[in-house]
Amino acid sequence: MQTKFKTALLAAGLMASGGTALAEESFSQWMISLTRHKEVKPVDNKAYKDECSGCHLAYQPGLLPAKSWEKMLNEKALSDHFGDNASLDADTLKEILNYAVANAADKSYYKRSRKIALATKTGDAPLRITEVRYIKRKHHEIPEKMIKGNKDVKSLSFCNACHTKAEEGDFDNDTVNIPNYPKWKDR
């Protein structure tokens, strides 16, 4: 009896949200929205990964909202990208910007990205992931000596220094290993 009830409830939900499913870009995206993923979507665009990882971790677009990527990924901003000239040809820039905006935190179904989207919904578009309220809160207990005073970390912007699965989009506490402080995780 319970199985029939659950099936009927699921069918009713699908019928009631049919308009929502049609409004989505695709049925598969709508299905993904029903089963939200835990972390952030890993980078799966070759141009984005190649260009960005030449200097730093290719940060997943789900770590910032679209308004941040739009502010950061334009010709003027890239000519002085945090002190470096990261200029790109027009076609590559367009591909990277489109990818970043389409996969930004406020367009993602991944749980951690949704939390970032909520934390950046109002106010100015943050240009640094480390400026996001949610990210600051997740790191507030870590003493400065373990980050800035740590020769193998130096800054929160080097996510992959401590998050061993950062490239895979996994920032869970279980994947953290702060260099030179192996017992931190066990406290």
Please write the tens of the pLDDT for every residue from 35-81. Answer: 557 899 999 999 999 999 988 999 999 999 999 999 999 999 999 99
Q: Is the pLDDT of residue 122 over 60?
A: yes
For residue 170, which amino acid is it?
A: D
- Lowest average pLDDT, out of 14-18, 39-43, 51-55, 99-103, goes to 14-18
pLDDT score of 187: 52
Domain match, 13 and 47 both: no
Q: Of all residues in the chain, what percent carry a pLDDT higher than 90?
A: 72
Asked whether the CA dihedral 131, 137, 142, 143 is positive or negative, the reply is positive
Q: Is the pLDDT of residue 17 over 80?
A: no
pLDDT mean over 16-44: 64
Taking Cα atoms as reference points, which of 178, 149, 145 lies closest to residue 164?
A: 178
Domain match, 143 and 169 both: yes
Domain match, 8 and 71 both: no
Total structural domains within the chain: 2
Domain match, 28 and 104 both: no
Domain match, 134 and 51 both: yes
151-155 long-range contacts (CB < 8 A, ≥24 apart) are: 151/180, 152/179, 152/180, 153/178, 153/179, 155/130
pLDDT mean over 96-125: 95
pLDDT score of 137: 95
- Lowest average pLDDT, out of 74-78, 93-97, 140-144, 180-184, goes to 180-184
Domain match, 84 and 170 both: yes
Confidence of residue 14 (pLDDT cuts 50, 70, 90): low
Residue range of the domain that includes 30: 2-34
Location of structure tokens 């991944």 = 110
Domain match, 8 and 28 both: yes
Domain match, 112 and 172 both: yes
pLDDT score of 3: 57
Tell which wins on pLDDT, 14 or 62: 62
Report yes or no: 168 and 42 within 8 Å, Cβ to Cβ. yes
pLDDT score of 38: 81
Domain match, 13 and 63 both: no
pLDDT mean over 168-183: 90
For residue 10, which amino acid is it?
A: L
